[in-house]
Amino acid sequence: MPRRALIVIDVQNEYVEGNLLIEYPDVNVSLANIGRAMDAAEKHGVPVVVVQNFAPATAPIFARGSAMAELHETVASRPRAHYVEKSLPSAFAGTDLADWLAAHDIDTIVIAGYMTHNCDDSTVKHAVHAGLSVEFLADATGAVPYENRAGKASAEEIHRVFTVVMQSRFAAVLDTHEWIGALESGEPPARDNIYASNQRARAANSAASR
């Protein structure tokens, strides 16, 4: 059985009513699923780690001391086993998270929170490189759209591509309902690999071109 901890990343007001609004999945859907995941973790004895990001007081987002940098009530109102404050994308960078997980004999982290493509992804990669297994709750996370000199992408495109890539190598990607089912059944969630993911895509493309 995996020895899990639920890592709830940066569920702060900035993403709900501030300058960095989550667009996909709908933020109200992801917030509800974050709450469900935290409740299920509490019920099944999975410790919850809450992560909060801060930037300098003059920053346009997550400014320390601002209401937008505060935890959203969905997370603030629920119990937690550990709290981590960070200022870099990965929840491991410059924090005691790795030591806390090791002290509690955790071998699998479960990611919920924001953003899929930034702090979530950084934390996932950091965990895998440290030898941990990862489960990623696709409907309890979320993305924003971007446009810059490299191009533009919608929040849905970003979330979809990042979750597909995660499933190919870095994490078991599933929705909150499936994850709660895995807690109850003891069955591990399905994982994949780069080769199989690529071969399926090639086969589908080949069939479509006939």
Nearest alpha carbon to residue 116 among 146, 94, 87 = 146
Q: Which two tokens stand for residue 44?
A: 């099944």
In the chain, DSSP finds a helix count (H) and a strand count (E) of: 8, 8
Distance of alpha carbon 152 from alpha carbon 94, whole angstroms: 31
Q: Which domain holds residue 95?
A: 4-208
Q: What's the pLDDT score for residue 209? A: 78
143 close to 23: Cβ distance less than 8 angstroms: yes
Angle at 28 between CA 50 and CA 57, to 5 degrees: 50
Q: Are 172 and 191 in contact (CB under 8 A)?
A: yes
Phi-psi region at 17: left, alpha or beta (left = phi > 0; alpha = psi -120 to 50): alpha
Sign of the dihedral through C-alpha 171, 172, 174, 176: negative
CATH number (domain holding residue 111):
3.40.50.850
Per the listing, tokens 């090639």 go with 202
The total number of structural domains in the chain stands at 1
- Write the DSSP assignment of 124-151 as a string of letters: HHHHHHTT-EEEEEEEEEEB--EEETTE
**What is the predicted pLDDT for the residue at 20?**
99
Angle between helices 27-43 and 176-185 (to 10 degrees): 10
pTM of the full predicted structure? Answer: 0.97
- What is the pairing mode between strands 4-9 and 108-114? parallel
Q: What is the pLDDT along the chain (210 residues), one digit of tens a residue?
A: 899 999 999 999 999 999 999 999 999 999 999 999 999 999 999 999 999 999 999 999 999 999 999 999 999 999 999 999 999 999 999 999 999 999 999 999 999 999 999 999 999 999 999 999 999 999 999 999 999 999 999 999 999 999 999 999 999 999 999 999 999 999 999 999 999 999 999 999 988 877
Residue 145 has a pLDDT of 99
d(CA 99, CA 106) in angstroms, rounded, equals 10
Amino acid 160: pLDDT: 99
At CB < 8 A and 24+ separation, what contacts does 147-156 make? 154/23, 154/24, 155/22, 155/23, 155/24, 156/23, 156/24
